[in-house]
Amino acid sequence: MTLTPTPVRGRTVAADWVDEQLLAGPDGEPCLRFGAPVTRGTLRALVAERQRQLAAAGLGEHGTVALRMPPSSEFVAVLLAAWRSGAQAVLLDHRLTAVEVDRAVDRLHPRVLVELADGRPQFHPLPGGAAAATEHALVQLSSGSTGPSKVIARTAADLQRELDCYARLPEFPARGERTVLLSSTVHVLGLVGGLLHALHAGVELVVPQRMTPAGILTAVGEGTAPTTVIGVPFHAELLASVAAPPELPQLRRMIVAGELVRPQLPAAFRARYGVPLGTMYGMTEVGVIATDLAGRHHPAVEPVHGMELSVADGELHIVRAQSPYLGPTDPTRWSDGLLHTRDAALIDADTGRVTVLGRRDSQISIGGLKVDLNEVEQSLAGLPGVVEAVVVFADGAIEAYASTTEGTCSPPSEPGGAADRLRDLLGEELAGYKLPRRLHLLPQLPRTATGKLLRDAAALRRQADAAR
C-alpha cells in the first residue's frame, strides 16, 4: 500500500521539488542500499513519518534543522522530510565531536538537531534556534582542509541546476544503473553527485558497509547492473593497490573529485580494472564545474552545461550572480558577480577545457624566486614508491610529507635514509631552490573527515612527531 505524505501548508519550491523530482517513481523500484535495500515506496512512507516527527519537534516552514547523522536511509529520509516541510537543512558530519557540534550550533542557530541513536533518529529542539533568514534550502560547511570551514548556502534552484548538469553527462550513471558511493553524503560530491542524482535519475545508490578495498569491491560485485564508483582520489589509490581484484564485468568506471590526482593514478587504475578513472572538478559553493569522466584529457576537464569560467591573474573565476556565503562576504572570494575559486588554472583557447593547477596560494617566494608548491607536490608524488604527498610552506621554508609503498617512517634528518634518497631523486627533477628543506616519511598522511589530505602545517608536524 502506498502511503501519501502529509501535505504541507504553504508549499514551497523545495517541498514541491522533493515530491516531483526525488521521491517520484514506481513503489517497488529499488533506490537505496545501506546494507538493506530500500524501495521508493518505502522511502516515501519513511519521509512522511519523519516529517510528522519534525513537526512535533517544532520544525515548520522556514525552520532550520541540523542533521548530524551517518550515511543511512534515516539520514536521507530526515533530509527530504526537512525539505518537504519547507525548512532549511544544515548538514554536520557525524564524525564531529560534541564540542565541534556545539560550536556549529552556536554559529548557525538551528531550531532542531537530529542525531541517530540505536538506528533511530532523535529530534532535539534547541533553545535559541532561529528561523531561516534566507530562502536557501541547504547549508554546508566546507571541508576545512586548508583552514576554518566556510558557511555555504544553496537554494533548491541551485541544486536542480546541478542535477540538470549531471543529467546531461552521457557517462554519468543513468536509470537502471547503480552508483557505489564512497564520498560523504554531507559534502557536495556525495550529496548531489551521489545521493540526489541517484534519486533524481532512477539510479540505485549503494553505500558499502565497509570502506575497505574488499568491502568496496564486494559492493560493486553484488549487483549486475552497470556500476559507477564515486569517491575521492584516496579511494582510487586504495583500489589500485589491490594486487588481484576479482572480475567485475559490471564496473563501468570510477569517478573521483576533491583534490588533484597523482599523475600515475589514472593509468594504474585502468591497468588494474580495465575501466577509466574519470575526474571532476567542483566546489561546495557551486557543485560540479568541469569533468573528464572518460579519462581522455587528464589533467584537463570540460566545463559542464551553463558554467561560465574565466581566468584572471592566473586564478579561475566562475560567474555567479549572488554570493554563496552566509553572513558578510569576503570580496576576495566573491565580488561583482564572480566567484574567486582561489585555484590556479589554465583555459585552452581552442577547446575551452580547464586544467586546474592547484591552490593559488601555493605560489610562494624563496629568496626572491617563485616556487609553486603544487609543482613540488606533484613531482614528489610521481617518484617511484611514493603513494601520496603534501607540500606546505611554514616558518619560511618548504616542508614535504609523504607516504610510500613500504609504509615506513623516516625523520628528515637521517643521513642516507629513505627520506634523504627521495630528496635526491626529487633534486634530479627540480631546481635546488624548489627542494623541501625537510622531507618527512609517514606510514600514512592525515586526512579530513571527507578524505582530503590535510594541509595544516602544525597538524602535519604533530603527526610526524607522533609517528616517530
pTM of the model: 0.82
Averaged pLDDT, 46-55: 97
* Domain boundaries along the sequence of the chain: 13-154, 158-307, 308-360, 367-467
- In DSSP terms, which residues pair with 346 in a beta bridge? 355
Q: How confident is the model at residue 6 (pLDDT cuts 50, 70, 90)?
A: very low
**Grid cell listed for 323:** 554570493
CATH of domain 367-467: 3.30.300.30
What's residue 467's pLDDT? Answer: 76
Give the mean model confidence (pLDDT) for residues 168-183. 97
Residue 326, burial from CB neighbour count under 10 angstroms (0-12, 13-18, 19+): middle
249-267 pLDDT, tens digit per residue, is 999 999 999 888 888 899 9
d(CA 401, CA 399): 7
Residue 11 has pLDDT above 60, yes or no: no
CA distance 388 to 403: 6
Q: CATH top-level class for 13-154?
A: alpha beta
Predicted confidence at residue 1, as pLDDT, reads 32
Q: How far apart are CA 238 and CA 451, in angstroms?
A: 12
* CB-based contact 239:216 (threshold 8 Å): yes
Look at residue 7 in the predicted model and tell me its pLDDT: 41
Of 145-154, 156-165, 200-209, 448-457, the poorest mean pLDDT is in 145-154
The b/e string for 84-104 (b: 16+ C-beta within 10 A; e otherwise) is bbbbbbbbbbbebeeeebeeb
End-to-end, the C-alpha distance of the chain in Å comes to 61
pLDDT at position 51 over 60:
yes
Q: 413 pLDDT band (50/70/90 cuts)?
A: low
- 158-307 has the same fold as 13-154: yes
Q: Check whether 189 has a pLDDT greater than 60.
A: yes
pLDDT on residue 205? 98
Name the fold adopted by 158-307. Answer: Rossmann fold (3.40.50)
Is 373 in a helix, a strand, or coil? Answer: helix
Residue 131 confidence (pLDDT) above 70: yes
Q: What percent of the chain has pLDDT over 70?
A: 92
Q: What is the pLDDT of residues 368-402, one digit of tens each?
A: 677 888 888 888 988 988 988 999 988 888 999 99
- In the chain, the percentage of residues whose pLDDT exceeds 90 is 65
Q: What's the pLDDT band for 146 if we cut at 50, 70, 90?
A: very low
Residue 468 has pLDDT above 80, yes or no: no
Q: Residue range 51-79: average pLDDT?
A: 95
Mean pLDDT within 44-49: 97
Q: What was the pLDDT predicted at 109?
A: 93
* Helix or strand holding residue 279 (H, E): strand 277-283
- Rounded to the nearest integer, the mean pLDDT of the chain is 89
Q: How many whole angstroms separate alpha carbon 413 and alpha carbon 112?
A: 52
> Is pLDDT above 50 for 85?
yes
Task: Flag whether pLDDT at 103 surpasses 50.
Answer: yes
Give the pLDDT band of residue 367 (cuts 50, 70, 90): low
pLDDT score of 100: 83
Pairing state of beta strands 251-256 and 386-394? unpaired
| pLDDT higher than threshold 90 for residue 279 | yes
Confidence of residue 163 (pLDDT cuts 50, 70, 90): very high
